[in-house]
Amino acid sequence: MCWILAQTQPNPEWILRTEKEIKMLEKVIVVDRIEVLENGCVQVRTKTAIMEDGEQISGTFHRHVVAPNDDYSQEDARVQAICSVTHTPEVIEAYLDAQNAD
């Protein structure tokens, strides 16, 4: 049996714990949905999951949009691939014309 010295929260007292009592937490971030809208915008949904010993115990979603004239070089590789195909010069021009018309 392996013993681990652990500090409890919120009271900072040191106690001995067995290895089996220690839970493994992991934060997993993944782009789980990519949608192309009619105007050429690409919607991206990112899921952040908190995993405890391989089981999800919490999760949140974040959405953002990549417009046809946006820089997408820092996006997920799959988002970049979709943007490179959908953000043609014609789509960019139509998107900018629509934005200027408003």
Question: Does pTM top 0.75 for this prediction?
Answer: no
pLDDT digits (tens, 9 = 90+) for 30-84: 999 999 999 999 999 999 999 988 899 999 999 999 999 999 999 999 999 999 9
pLDDT at 4 over 90: no
CB 66 within 8 A of CB 44: yes
